[in-house]
Structure 1
Amino acid sequence: MGKEECKTMLDALNKVTACYRHLVIALGSTSDSQNLREELKRTRKKAQELAVANRTKLTALLKDKTISKEDRSEYERLWVLFSSSMELLEVDMKRSLELGQNFPLKVPTRHLIQTGMTGSTTTVAARAISVQNIKYEADSNIDTVDLGDLQAEISQVSQMMEEMEMKVQVAPWAVEAKQEAGAELKSSMSVGNSSVGVISICEEEPKEHETITFIIFT
Protein backbone atom coordinates (compact mmCIF):
# COMPACT_ATOMS: atom_id res chain seq x y z
CA MET A 1 0.00 0.00 0.00
CA GLY A 2 2.88 2.36 0.77
CA LYS A 3 4.33 2.15 -2.72
CA GLU A 4 1.00 2.51 -4.48
CA GLU A 5 0.08 5.49 -2.33
CA CYS A 6 3.41 7.16 -3.10
CA LYS A 7 2.99 6.56 -6.81
CA THR A 8 -0.52 8.02 -6.74
CA MET A 9 0.65 11.11 -4.85
CA LEU A 10 3.61 11.60 -7.18
CA ASP A 11 1.40 11.20 -10.25
CA ALA A 12 -0.92 13.91 -8.89
CA LEU A 13 2.04 16.24 -8.32
CA ASN A 14 3.36 15.63 -11.83
CA LYS A 15 -0.01 16.40 -13.40
CA VAL A 16 -0.42 19.66 -11.50
CA THR A 17 3.14 20.83 -12.21
CA ALA A 18 2.61 20.00 -15.89
CA CYS A 19 -0.58 22.06 -15.84
CA TYR A 20 1.29 24.92 -14.18
CA ARG A 21 3.90 24.88 -16.95
CA HIS A 22 1.14 24.89 -19.56
CA LEU A 23 -0.40 27.98 -17.97
CA VAL A 24 2.91 29.82 -17.58
CA ILE A 25 3.34 29.65 -21.37
CA ALA A 26 0.31 31.96 -21.76
CA LEU A 27 1.73 34.74 -19.55
CA GLY A 28 2.22 37.92 -21.54
CA SER A 29 0.32 36.49 -24.51
CA THR A 30 -3.06 37.47 -25.92
CA SER A 31 -4.51 34.81 -23.59
CA ASP A 32 -3.23 36.60 -20.50
CA SER A 33 -5.96 37.79 -18.16
CA GLN A 34 -7.13 38.13 -14.58
CA ASN A 35 -8.46 34.57 -14.72
CA LEU A 36 -5.14 33.19 -15.95
CA ARG A 37 -3.26 34.87 -13.09
CA GLU A 38 -5.75 33.44 -10.61
CA GLU A 39 -5.45 29.98 -12.16
CA LEU A 40 -1.68 30.18 -11.94
CA LYS A 41 -1.87 31.12 -8.28
CA ARG A 42 -4.32 28.34 -7.45
CA THR A 43 -2.38 25.72 -9.41
CA ARG A 44 0.99 26.52 -7.85
CA LYS A 45 -0.61 26.45 -4.39
CA LYS A 46 -1.96 22.98 -5.13
CA ALA A 47 1.46 21.90 -6.41
CA GLN A 48 3.11 23.06 -3.21
CA GLU A 49 0.56 21.22 -1.05
CA LEU A 50 1.20 18.02 -2.99
CA ALA A 51 4.95 18.58 -2.75
CA VAL A 52 4.78 18.78 1.04
CA ALA A 53 2.64 15.63 1.19
CA ASN A 54 5.06 13.74 -1.08
CA ARG A 55 8.09 14.88 0.88
CA THR A 56 6.58 13.90 4.23
CA LYS A 57 5.53 10.44 3.03
CA LEU A 58 8.75 9.57 1.21
CA THR A 59 11.00 10.94 3.95
CA ALA A 60 9.29 8.79 6.57
CA LEU A 61 9.55 5.67 4.43
CA LEU A 62 13.20 6.19 3.50
CA LYS A 63 14.10 6.71 7.16
CA ASP A 64 12.43 3.44 8.12
CA LYS A 65 15.21 0.93 8.84
CA THR A 66 12.84 -2.04 8.72
CA ILE A 67 11.85 -1.84 5.04
CA SER A 68 13.27 -4.41 2.63
CA LYS A 69 16.10 -3.65 0.21
CA GLU A 70 13.70 -3.99 -2.72
CA ASP A 71 11.24 -1.51 -1.23
CA ARG A 72 14.02 0.93 -0.40
CA SER A 73 15.22 0.85 -4.00
CA GLU A 74 11.71 1.65 -5.21
CA TYR A 75 11.29 4.52 -2.74
CA GLU A 76 14.67 5.92 -3.76
CA ARG A 77 13.55 5.83 -7.39
CA LEU A 78 10.35 7.68 -6.48
CA TRP A 79 12.40 10.17 -4.47
CA VAL A 80 14.54 10.99 -7.53
CA LEU A 81 11.39 11.48 -9.62
CA PHE A 82 9.96 13.70 -6.90
CA SER A 83 13.15 15.78 -6.74
CA SER A 84 13.07 16.24 -10.52
CA SER A 85 9.45 17.39 -10.37
CA MET A 86 10.35 19.90 -7.67
CA GLU A 87 13.21 21.28 -9.75
CA LEU A 88 10.84 21.80 -12.70
CA LEU A 89 8.30 23.50 -10.44
CA GLU A 90 10.94 25.88 -9.11
CA VAL A 91 12.10 26.74 -12.65
CA ASP A 92 8.53 27.43 -13.79
CA MET A 93 7.76 29.54 -10.73
CA LYS A 94 10.82 31.68 -11.45
CA ARG A 95 9.75 31.95 -15.10
CA SER A 96 6.26 32.97 -13.99
CA LEU A 97 7.73 35.67 -11.75
CA GLU A 98 9.89 37.07 -14.54
CA LEU A 99 7.07 37.08 -17.09
CA GLY A 100 4.64 38.55 -14.58
CA GLN A 101 7.05 41.40 -13.90
CA ASN A 102 7.69 42.03 -17.58
CA PHE A 103 4.05 41.81 -18.63
CA PRO A 104 1.70 43.56 -16.16
CA LEU A 105 -1.98 42.96 -16.86
CA LYS A 106 -2.78 46.56 -17.71
CA VAL A 107 -0.69 47.00 -20.85
CA PRO A 108 -1.64 47.75 -24.49
CA THR A 109 -2.44 44.65 -26.55
CA ARG A 110 0.35 45.42 -29.00
CA HIS A 111 2.92 44.69 -26.28
CA LEU A 112 1.70 41.13 -25.79
CA ILE A 113 3.42 38.13 -27.37
CA GLN A 114 1.99 35.39 -29.58
CA THR A 115 2.38 31.87 -28.17
CA GLY A 116 0.09 29.96 -30.53
CA MET A 117 -2.47 29.75 -27.74
CA THR A 118 -5.66 31.82 -27.56
CA GLY A 119 -8.86 31.77 -25.59
CA SER A 120 -9.60 30.62 -22.04
CA THR A 121 -7.43 28.11 -20.21
CA THR A 122 -9.89 27.56 -17.37
CA THR A 123 -10.72 23.98 -18.35
CA VAL A 124 -7.06 23.00 -18.29
CA ALA A 125 -6.40 24.21 -14.75
CA ALA A 126 -9.78 23.14 -13.40
CA ARG A 127 -9.33 19.58 -14.58
CA ALA A 128 -5.79 19.31 -13.25
CA ILE A 129 -6.70 20.34 -9.72
CA SER A 130 -10.17 18.73 -9.72
CA VAL A 131 -12.03 22.00 -9.33
CA GLN A 132 -15.06 23.02 -11.38
CA ASN A 133 -16.83 26.32 -11.95
CA ILE A 134 -14.08 28.45 -10.42
CA LYS A 135 -15.14 32.04 -9.83
CA TYR A 136 -12.63 34.79 -9.23
CA GLU A 137 -13.10 38.12 -7.54
CA ALA A 138 -11.54 41.14 -9.18
CA ASP A 139 -8.30 42.32 -7.62
CA SER A 140 -6.82 45.48 -9.06
CA ASN A 141 -3.53 44.84 -7.27
CA ILE A 142 -3.02 41.26 -8.43
CA ASP A 143 0.22 42.18 -10.22
CA THR A 144 2.01 43.52 -7.15
CA VAL A 145 0.37 41.39 -4.45
CA ASP A 146 0.60 38.03 -6.22
CA LEU A 147 4.13 38.61 -7.51
CA GLY A 148 5.21 39.37 -3.96
CA ASP A 149 3.61 36.14 -2.76
CA LEU A 150 5.19 34.23 -5.63
CA GLN A 151 8.64 35.52 -4.77
CA ALA A 152 8.20 34.34 -1.17
CA GLU A 153 6.93 30.94 -2.33
CA ILE A 154 9.95 30.47 -4.61
CA SER A 155 12.17 30.94 -1.56
CA GLN A 156 10.09 28.39 0.35
CA VAL A 157 10.41 25.83 -2.45
CA SER A 158 14.16 26.40 -2.65
CA GLN A 159 14.44 25.93 1.11
CA MET A 160 12.34 22.77 0.93
CA MET A 161 14.68 21.32 -1.69
CA GLU A 162 17.73 22.10 0.44
CA GLU A 163 16.14 20.42 3.46
CA MET A 164 15.26 17.41 1.33
CA GLU A 165 18.89 16.94 0.32
CA MET A 166 20.00 17.08 3.96
CA LYS A 167 17.34 14.75 5.35
CA VAL A 168 17.48 12.10 2.62
CA GLN A 169 20.72 11.52 0.78
CA VAL A 170 19.90 9.63 -2.40
CA ALA A 171 22.39 9.79 -5.26
CA PRO A 172 20.41 10.04 -8.54
CA TRP A 173 23.13 8.23 -10.49
CA ALA A 174 22.90 5.26 -8.11
CA VAL A 175 19.19 4.71 -8.70
CA GLU A 176 18.43 2.05 -11.26
CA ALA A 177 15.87 2.94 -13.94
CA LYS A 178 12.95 0.55 -14.42
CA GLN A 179 12.34 1.38 -18.08
CA GLU A 180 14.60 1.42 -21.09
CA ALA A 181 15.74 4.77 -22.44
CA GLY A 182 13.01 6.53 -24.42
CA ALA A 183 10.19 4.38 -23.02
CA GLU A 184 8.24 7.47 -21.96
CA LEU A 185 8.43 8.90 -25.47
CA LYS A 186 7.22 5.67 -27.00
CA SER A 187 4.28 5.45 -24.62
CA SER A 188 3.33 9.09 -25.21
CA MET A 189 3.06 8.43 -28.95
CA SER A 190 0.40 5.80 -28.34
CA VAL A 191 -3.06 7.21 -29.03
CA GLY A 192 -4.70 4.82 -26.63
CA ASN A 193 -2.44 5.73 -23.69
CA SER A 194 -4.07 8.40 -21.52
CA SER A 195 -1.83 7.93 -18.48
CA VAL A 196 0.79 10.42 -19.60
CA GLY A 197 0.55 13.46 -17.33
CA VAL A 198 0.24 16.35 -19.75
CA ILE A 199 -1.93 14.52 -22.24
CA SER A 200 -4.42 13.50 -19.56
CA ILE A 201 -4.68 17.11 -18.45
CA CYS A 202 -5.01 18.67 -21.87
CA GLU A 203 -7.25 16.16 -23.60
CA GLU A 204 -10.43 18.10 -22.84
CA GLU A 205 -11.92 19.36 -26.07
CA PRO A 206 -11.76 23.17 -26.31
CA LYS A 207 -14.77 25.32 -26.95
CA GLU A 208 -15.46 26.63 -30.43
CA HIS A 209 -13.86 30.02 -29.78
CA GLU A 210 -10.72 28.50 -28.27
CA THR A 211 -7.54 27.31 -29.91
CA ILE A 212 -5.12 25.54 -27.59
CA THR A 213 -1.72 24.18 -28.57
CA PHE A 214 -1.01 20.91 -26.77
CA ILE A 215 2.58 20.41 -25.71
CA ILE A 216 4.17 17.21 -24.40
CA PHE A 217 6.88 17.78 -21.82
CA THR A 218 9.50 15.12 -21.30
Structure 2
Amino acid sequence: MTERRGHLAEMARDEDSPELNHLFAEGRERHYSPGEHLITEGERTDYFYDILSGTVALARNGRDGRRQILAFMSARQILGASSTPSYPNLATALTPVSAVCYPRAALERALVTTPKFASNFRVVLTQILESAHDHVYTIGQRSAVERLASFLLYLRANQARFSTGGPREKSEHIELPMTRLDIADFLGLTIETVSRAFSALKKGNVIAFRDSHSCEILRIDRIRELGGRDDFTQHRGSA
Protein backbone atom coordinates (compact mmCIF):
# COMPACT_ATOMS: atom_id res chain seq x y z
CA MET A 1 0.00 0.00 0.00
CA THR A 2 1.22 3.50 -0.83
CA GLU A 3 2.59 5.45 2.15
CA ARG A 4 0.11 8.03 3.37
CA ARG A 5 1.52 11.34 4.57
CA GLY A 6 0.24 14.65 5.87
CA HIS A 7 -3.08 15.96 7.10
CA LEU A 8 -5.01 14.16 4.39
CA ALA A 9 -3.68 10.89 5.78
CA GLU A 10 -5.00 11.86 9.22
CA MET A 11 -8.44 12.42 7.71
CA ALA A 12 -8.32 8.99 6.07
CA ARG A 13 -7.01 7.10 9.09
CA ASP A 14 -8.44 3.54 9.28
CA GLU A 15 -10.34 4.14 6.03
CA ASP A 16 -9.90 2.05 2.92
CA SER A 17 -11.38 2.07 -0.58
CA PRO A 18 -9.96 1.64 -4.09
CA GLU A 19 -10.58 5.32 -4.77
CA LEU A 20 -8.83 6.39 -1.57
CA ASN A 21 -5.84 4.15 -2.32
CA HIS A 22 -5.70 5.63 -5.83
CA LEU A 23 -5.73 9.15 -4.39
CA PHE A 24 -2.69 8.50 -2.20
CA ALA A 25 -0.92 6.62 -4.99
CA GLU A 26 -1.29 9.73 -7.17
CA GLY A 27 0.14 12.11 -4.54
CA ARG A 28 3.53 13.63 -5.35
CA GLU A 29 5.68 15.45 -2.79
CA ARG A 30 6.98 18.76 -4.08
CA HIS A 31 9.40 21.32 -2.65
CA TYR A 32 9.30 25.09 -3.11
CA SER A 33 11.84 27.81 -2.42
CA PRO A 34 10.89 31.18 -0.87
CA GLY A 35 9.19 33.31 -3.51
CA GLU A 36 8.15 30.33 -5.64
CA HIS A 37 4.44 29.95 -6.48
CA LEU A 38 2.49 26.82 -5.64
CA ILE A 39 -0.52 28.07 -7.60
CA THR A 40 -1.14 31.15 -9.73
CA GLU A 41 -4.27 33.16 -10.48
CA GLY A 42 -6.11 31.81 -13.51
CA GLU A 43 -4.42 28.40 -13.40
CA ARG A 44 -6.81 25.45 -13.79
CA THR A 45 -7.85 23.87 -10.49
CA ASP A 46 -6.64 20.42 -11.48
CA TYR A 47 -4.63 19.89 -8.28
CA PHE A 48 -4.72 20.63 -4.58
CA TYR A 49 -1.96 20.62 -1.97
CA ASP A 50 -1.51 19.19 1.52
CA ILE A 51 1.18 21.34 3.15
CA LEU A 52 3.74 19.32 5.11
CA SER A 53 6.05 22.12 6.28
CA GLY A 54 6.81 25.80 5.75
CA THR A 55 4.59 28.88 5.37
CA VAL A 56 2.56 29.92 2.33
CA ALA A 57 0.88 33.29 1.66
CA LEU A 58 -2.46 33.05 -0.11
CA ALA A 59 -3.12 36.38 -1.85
CA ARG A 60 -5.14 38.16 -4.51
CA ASN A 61 -3.88 41.01 -6.67
CA GLY A 62 -6.09 43.90 -7.73
CA ARG A 63 -6.06 45.54 -11.16
CA ASP A 64 -4.20 48.46 -9.60
CA GLY A 65 -1.39 46.12 -8.53
CA ARG A 66 -2.19 46.19 -4.83
CA ARG A 67 -1.98 42.87 -3.02
CA GLN A 68 -4.29 41.58 -0.30
CA ILE A 69 -2.99 38.58 1.62
CA LEU A 70 -5.96 36.40 2.50
CA ALA A 71 -4.27 33.81 4.72
CA PHE A 72 -0.96 32.51 5.99
CA MET A 73 -1.01 28.74 5.61
CA SER A 74 1.32 26.14 7.09
CA ALA A 75 1.62 22.45 7.93
CA ARG A 76 -1.60 20.44 8.18
CA GLN A 77 -3.54 22.86 5.99
CA ILE A 78 -5.11 22.19 2.60
CA LEU A 79 -4.45 24.57 -0.28
CA GLY A 80 -6.27 24.78 -3.60
CA ALA A 81 -9.68 23.29 -2.77
CA SER A 82 -11.93 25.26 -5.11
CA SER A 83 -15.41 25.20 -6.62
CA THR A 84 -14.26 27.14 -9.69
CA PRO A 85 -12.47 25.86 -12.83
CA SER A 86 -9.51 28.20 -12.21
CA TYR A 87 -7.77 29.48 -9.10
CA PRO A 88 -8.82 33.01 -8.11
CA ASN A 89 -5.80 33.43 -5.85
CA LEU A 90 -2.01 33.26 -5.81
CA ALA A 91 -0.13 31.01 -3.35
CA THR A 92 3.53 31.85 -2.70
CA ALA A 93 6.08 30.13 -0.47
CA LEU A 94 7.39 32.52 2.21
CA THR A 95 9.85 29.93 3.55
CA PRO A 96 11.05 26.59 2.14
CA VAL A 97 7.82 24.60 1.69
CA SER A 98 7.09 20.91 1.26
CA ALA A 99 3.65 19.80 0.11
CA VAL A 100 1.97 16.75 -1.38
CA CYS A 101 0.19 17.52 -4.66
CA TYR A 102 -2.94 15.49 -5.47
CA PRO A 103 -5.15 15.44 -8.59
CA ARG A 104 -8.48 17.09 -7.86
CA ALA A 105 -10.38 14.40 -9.81
CA ALA A 106 -8.92 11.66 -7.59
CA LEU A 107 -9.96 13.58 -4.48
CA GLU A 108 -13.53 13.99 -5.70
CA ARG A 109 -13.86 10.26 -6.40
CA ALA A 110 -12.48 9.38 -2.95
CA LEU A 111 -14.90 11.80 -1.26
CA VAL A 112 -17.87 10.20 -3.01
CA THR A 113 -16.93 6.62 -2.10
CA THR A 114 -15.55 7.07 1.45
CA PRO A 115 -18.16 8.80 3.67
CA LYS A 116 -16.08 9.11 6.85
CA PHE A 117 -13.17 10.60 4.93
CA ALA A 118 -15.62 13.01 3.27
CA SER A 119 -17.01 14.01 6.66
CA ASN A 120 -13.51 14.74 8.02
CA PHE A 121 -12.69 16.74 4.88
CA ARG A 122 -15.81 18.89 5.36
CA VAL A 123 -14.63 19.68 8.89
CA VAL A 124 -11.35 20.97 7.46
CA LEU A 125 -13.17 23.11 4.90
CA THR A 126 -15.25 24.56 7.74
CA GLN A 127 -12.05 25.42 9.60
CA ILE A 128 -10.79 27.24 6.49
CA LEU A 129 -14.02 29.26 6.44
CA GLU A 130 -13.71 30.05 10.15
CA SER A 131 -10.10 31.18 9.64
CA ALA A 132 -11.33 33.53 6.90
CA HIS A 133 -13.85 34.97 9.36
CA ASP A 134 -11.01 35.45 11.87
CA HIS A 135 -9.12 37.44 9.24
CA VAL A 136 -12.12 39.68 8.56
CA TYR A 137 -12.30 40.38 12.28
CA THR A 138 -8.62 41.38 12.48
CA ILE A 139 -9.02 44.16 9.90
CA GLY A 140 -12.50 45.41 10.74
CA GLN A 141 -12.91 48.89 12.26
CA ARG A 142 -9.80 48.69 14.44
CA SER A 143 -6.71 50.84 14.91
CA ALA A 144 -3.32 49.65 13.65
CA VAL A 145 -2.17 48.49 17.10
CA GLU A 146 -5.49 46.74 17.68
CA ARG A 147 -5.24 44.98 14.32
CA LEU A 148 -1.72 43.85 15.11
CA ALA A 149 -2.76 42.56 18.55
CA SER A 150 -5.62 40.65 16.94
CA PHE A 151 -3.19 39.30 14.34
CA LEU A 152 -0.92 37.94 17.09
CA LEU A 153 -3.92 36.17 18.63
CA TYR A 154 -4.75 34.81 15.16
CA LEU A 155 -1.21 33.45 14.74
CA ARG A 156 -1.17 32.07 18.27
CA ALA A 157 -4.34 30.06 17.64
CA ASN A 158 -3.30 28.89 14.17
CA GLN A 159 0.18 27.83 15.27
CA ALA A 160 -1.42 25.66 17.94
CA ARG A 161 -4.20 24.39 15.67
CA PHE A 162 -1.95 23.53 12.73
CA SER A 163 1.37 22.59 14.34
CA THR A 164 3.41 19.99 12.46
CA GLY A 165 2.90 17.33 15.13
CA GLY A 166 -0.83 17.94 15.42
CA PRO A 167 -2.93 20.28 17.58
CA ARG A 168 -1.21 21.45 20.77
CA GLU A 169 -1.70 23.98 23.54
CA LYS A 170 -1.29 27.66 22.71
CA SER A 171 2.04 29.31 23.47
CA GLU A 172 3.19 32.87 24.08
CA HIS A 173 6.02 32.26 21.61
CA ILE A 174 4.86 33.50 18.20
CA GLU A 175 6.66 32.57 14.99
CA LEU A 176 6.78 35.36 12.39
CA PRO A 177 8.06 33.75 9.18
CA MET A 178 6.45 36.50 7.09
CA THR A 179 7.91 39.94 6.37
CA ARG A 180 6.51 43.23 7.68
CA LEU A 181 5.22 43.89 4.16
CA ASP A 182 3.37 40.56 4.20
CA ILE A 183 1.78 41.49 7.53
CA ALA A 184 0.84 44.92 6.15
CA ASP A 185 -0.83 43.33 3.13
CA PHE A 186 -2.71 40.96 5.41
CA LEU A 187 -3.93 43.69 7.76
CA GLY A 188 -4.66 46.34 5.13
CA LEU A 189 -1.99 48.71 6.46
CA THR A 190 1.26 50.22 5.22
CA ILE A 191 4.58 48.67 6.17
CA GLU A 192 5.50 51.85 8.09
CA THR A 193 2.29 51.62 10.13
CA VAL A 194 2.95 47.96 10.95
CA SER A 195 6.49 48.81 12.10
CA ARG A 196 5.16 51.61 14.34
CA ALA A 197 2.52 49.29 15.80
CA PHE A 198 5.15 46.66 16.63
CA SER A 199 7.30 49.38 18.22
CA ALA A 200 4.36 50.56 20.32
CA LEU A 201 3.72 47.04 21.64
CA LYS A 202 7.42 46.55 22.33
CA LYS A 203 7.76 49.94 24.08
CA GLY A 204 4.76 49.10 26.26
CA ASN A 205 6.43 45.82 27.28
CA VAL A 206 3.53 43.90 25.75
CA ILE A 207 5.79 41.88 23.45
CA ALA A 208 9.52 41.26 23.14
CA PHE A 209 11.55 40.21 20.10
CA ARG A 210 13.94 37.28 20.46
CA ASP A 211 15.02 37.46 16.81
CA SER A 212 13.75 38.90 13.53
CA HIS A 213 11.30 36.04 12.94
CA SER A 214 9.64 35.54 16.30
CA CYS A 215 8.36 37.37 19.37
CA GLU A 216 7.19 36.59 22.87
CA ILE A 217 3.87 37.85 24.21
CA LEU A 218 4.70 39.23 27.65
CA ARG A 219 1.18 40.41 28.51
CA ILE A 220 -1.46 38.19 26.96
CA ASP A 221 -4.12 40.09 28.90
CA ARG A 222 -3.14 43.34 27.15
CA ILE A 223 -3.02 41.65 23.74
CA ARG A 224 -6.53 40.31 24.32
CA GLU A 225 -7.72 43.74 25.49
CA LEU A 226 -6.33 45.42 22.38
CA GLY A 227 -7.50 42.63 20.10
CA GLY A 228 -11.01 42.91 21.49
CA ARG A 229 -11.42 39.20 22.25
CA ASP A 230 -10.08 36.44 24.45
CA ASP A 231 -8.89 34.22 21.61
CA PHE A 232 -9.67 32.70 18.27
CA THR A 233 -11.12 29.23 18.06
CA GLN A 234 -8.73 26.32 18.42
CA HIS A 235 -9.91 23.00 17.05
CA ARG A 236 -8.61 19.85 18.67
CA GLY A 237 -8.45 16.43 17.11
CA SER A 238 -6.91 14.98 13.97
CA ALA A 239 -9.26 16.29 11.31
What TM-score results when the alignment is normalised by the length of structure 1? 0.31
What TM-score results when the alignment is normalised by the length of structure 2? 0.29
* Larger strand share, 1 or 2: 2
